[in-house]
Amino acid sequence: QVHLVESGGGLVQTGGSLRLSCAASTRLFSILDMGWYRHAPGKSRELVAAITSTGATNYAGSVKGRFTISRDNAKNTVYLQMSSLKPEDTDVYYCNINSPHLWPWGQGTQVNVSS
């Protein structure tokens, strides 16, 4: 079973930045398409950023131009650089494979943006 461990969240002011990290315990990491999702209780889940095994990226319209997804295959880690943060970015952020068949979710990392 794959384990996902997210980190890097915290409390920032509007306009601030955070860098999230997610380590995945799988030897197949380098050939997998990965994504960053966000959802909190009572809210729908949103795929905010995705990166293919070859490094192509895609973003939700709400974060395009502000968030950057990247990966380090040697470390089995995917990152999300978040800039120009807004209060509406407040959420719990998770990483997972970008596929209809998701892995078990990690604990996520909480991002709080104060106005």
Residue 17's pLDDT band, with cuts at 50, 70 and 90, is very high
Place of tokens 């997972």: 96
How many residues does this entry show for the chain? 115
The DSSP symbol for 94 reads E
Residue 15's pLDDT band, with cuts at 50, 70 and 90, is very high
Torsion of CA 39, 1, 73, 5, to 10 degrees: 40
The distance between the two most distant Cα atoms of the chain, rounded to a whole number of Å, is 41
Average pLDDT over residues 56-76: 97
CA distances 9 to 53, 77, 111, Å, are 25, 15, 5
Residue 40's pLDDT band, with cuts at 50, 70 and 90, is confident
pLDDT at 20 over 80: yes
